């Protein structure tokens, strides 16, 4: 009986082992659920080139845009878990969509296999140079003396920037109006121009305007300082105890149920791709730092912990799915 059980177990494991041993043996498709030219697309195309060189197979980048990334993500969630259809996604919105959209048809954690975080993008709190504040405490005091008069611009509803602003409002009890844009570059233009006095934006994108004196950099939103601005405090260091946003990431996921050996093959190939100077420069241009080595398990931990944080923020802000 014991021998029979072992034989049956071996038969169950055989398909995954065979798949992994032969993987990949045909083209891989990278689904990017955003438009051509955006941050995820830039990263996806560079990653595709590097993965093709590493695996010896063509890698096709397929932009499936719409519904704040839900169309492309659903396509991957419903695909075969064989490693040949993958998702290049941003988080948020991947891990915040359930808090904003009733129409979502998949679970952003249960219906995916996290493979690798490619990069992280520090987020910054900035103000137009004309605003008479020089630090976070000054901004809080100004907002309290001008309730409802300050607005902050972000790349859009449901982004880490939007939720970072909502967390700041909830923790400090200030009243600021969120102004969502269809992309960070549009928001940045208006914050630099003074149409919107406050911005929560990607750090690397604001730095040229900080250096030119058009913007003042007050803090970064994560719980660690950013290498690109080592003298800039975190929000906690700037006097807002307990404030910390999860890392904003770009990463690769597959459908749920992928064989572990296939996941590891892909993770290793992505890791090797990140050693490329071209890949690093493309990440930098898109506002991302190359991610520290992380396992799929670490990626899953980040997904779970960030969803917990975002759930708390949206609850405090009274945000519900529409």
| Tens digits of residue pLDDT in 115-137 | 999 999 999 999 999 999 999 99
Residue numbers of the domain that contains 263: 2-121+248-317
The predicted pLDDT at position 18 comes to: 55
Q: Does any domain span residue 163?
A: yes
Q: Are residues 190 and 210 in the same domain?
A: yes
pTM: 0.86
Q: Are residues 268 and 307 in the same domain?
A: yes
Q: Are residues 115 and 135 in the same domain?
A: no
Q: Are residues 103 and 252 in the same domain?
A: yes
The predicted pLDDT at position 20 comes to: 62
- 44 token code pair: 């996806």
Q: Are residues 79 and 189 in the same domain?
A: no
The predicted pLDDT at position 146 comes to: 95
Q: Are residues 108 and 9 in the same domain?
A: yes
- 303 token code pair: 């997904």
Instruction: Return the CATH number at 200.
Output: 3.40.190.10
**Which alpha helices (H) appear in the chain, and where do they start and end?**
2-22, 39-55, 70-77, 136-145, 160-172, 184-193, 203-211, 260-273, 277-285, 296-317
Task: Tell me how far apart the alpha carbons of residues 128 and 213 are, in angstroms, rounded to a whole number.
Answer: 9
The predicted pLDDT at position 2 comes to: 41
**Three-state SS at 60:** strand
Where the chain has pLDDT below 50, the residues are: 1-9, 11, 13-14
The predicted pLDDT at position 8 comes to: 46
Percent of the chain with pLDDT over 70: 94
Strand partners, 89: 251
DSSP assigned state of 86: E
**CB–CB of 313/92 below 8 Å?**
no
DSSP assigned state of 50: H
Bridge-based pairing state of the strands 85-91 and 198-202:
unpaired
């Amino acid at each position: 009986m014991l021998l029979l059980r072992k034989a049956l177990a071996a038969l169950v494991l055989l398909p995954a082992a065979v798949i992994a041993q032969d993987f990949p043996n045909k083209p891989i498709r990278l689904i990017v659920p955003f438009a051509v030219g955006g941050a995820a697309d830039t990263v996806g195309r560079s990653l595709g080139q590097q993965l093709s060189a590493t695996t010896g197979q063509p890698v096709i980048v397929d932009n499936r845009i719409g519904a704040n990334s839900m169309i492309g993500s659903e396509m991957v969630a419903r695909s075969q878990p064989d490693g040949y259809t993958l998702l290049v996604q941003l988080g948020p919105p991947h891990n915040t969509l359930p808090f904003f959209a009733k129409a979502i048809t998949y679970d952003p954690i249960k219906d995916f296999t996290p493979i690798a975080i490619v990069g992280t993008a520090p987020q910054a709190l900035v103000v137009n140079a004309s605003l008479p504040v020089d630090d976070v405490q000054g901004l809080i005091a100004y907002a309290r003396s001008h309730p409802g008069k300050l607005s902050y611009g972000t790349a859009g509803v449901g982004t880490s920037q939007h939720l970072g602003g909502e967390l700041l409002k909830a923790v400090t009890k200030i009243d600021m109006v969120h102004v969502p844009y269809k992309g960070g570059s549009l928001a940045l233009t208006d914050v630099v121009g003074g149409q919107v006095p406050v911005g929560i934006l990607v750090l690397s994108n604001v730095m040229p305007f900080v250096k030119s004196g058009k913007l003042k950099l007050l803090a970064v939103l994560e719980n660690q300082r950013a290498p690109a601005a080592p003298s800039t405090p975190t929000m906690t260091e700037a006097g807002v105890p307990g404030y910390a946003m999860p890392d904003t990431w770009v990463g690769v996921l597959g459908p749920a149920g992928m064989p572990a050996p296939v996941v590891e093959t892909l993770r290793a190939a992505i890791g090797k791709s990140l050693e490329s100077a071209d890949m690093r420069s493309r990440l930098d241009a898109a506002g991302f730092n190359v991610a520290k080595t992380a396992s799929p398990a670490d990626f899953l931990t980040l997904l779970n912990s960030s969803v917990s944080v975002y759930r708390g923020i949206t609850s405090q802000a009274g945000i519900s799915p529409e």
